[in-house]
Amino acid sequence: MATPHNAANAGDIASDVILPGDPLRAQYMAEKFLSDVKQVTGVRNMFGFTGTWKGKPVTIMGSGMGGPSAGIYSYELFKFYGVNRIIRTGTSGSFQKELIPGDLVFAQTSSTDSAWAHQYKLPGTFSPAADFGMLETAAASARAHNFRFTAGGIFSSDTFSDYSALNETTGEASWLPWARMGCLSCDMETYALYCTAAWLGKKALSILTLTDSCVTGESLPAENRMAALEPMFTVAFDIL
């Protein structure tokens, strides 16, 4: 049952999928955490692996960067491969001073500057939300492991390098209005993932690790980044 962006056969994909952006991060997670692992897809080098975690089938697959890429892969997983839940494990930039690199953010909802939801022909602005059961389990896991975390709304943008650009009218950085409205951090993929889940009646949760701060300019050292993502991985597997 191959799709344009997934070479997996029917039955190759588990009902629970962990979806990091980076396909090499998917490979790392699969090799480190899963048993009986096999690669099930690699179209455009977007690697997907299926194995077992404590006896439970799990697929880990990359989504690529940006809402359109995450939206395409999640749509095909939900629609054609019988996936019921997707857990995004991604990176994010903090919008709030008290949130520091290394913290976890659980995205309850996502705002956006994207036109993604226009395809649904809604007579207003749609605000997609995470699955509460998955969010509740994630929070319990983080508390049990004593991981720093917060939950709330985030901002998903179609642009990456524009966060610090100055608004020509106000003279302030483009992310500041979103921060004032309470958005915790920014990514590029969550809005499209949550919309896709809502459209298809499925469940999704974005677990994000803050890798840098738009407020202070602090960031995780590149050599320590993978180790800093381990708490996010732990919480994701605890949801399964």
Rounded distance between C-alpha atoms, residue 118 and residue 162, angstroms: 23
Q: Is position 12 annotated as part of the catalytic site?
A: no
Rounded distance between C-alpha atoms, residue 237 and residue 123, angstroms: 38
Nearest CA-CA partner of 142 in 10, 42, 233? 233
Q: What is the DSSP string of 101-120?
A: TT-EEEEEEEEES--GGGGG
Say if residue 132 is exposed, middle or buried (CB neighbours under 10 Å; 0-12, 13-18, 19+).
exposed
Mention every residue, 6+ apart, whose C-beta is less than 8 A from residue 207: 87, 88, 89, 90, 104, 105, 106, 107, 138, 232, 235, 236
Nearest CA-CA partner of 74 in 205, 188, 192, 208? 192
* Identified catalytic residue from 12, 16, 131, 212: 212
Catalytically annotated residues: 212
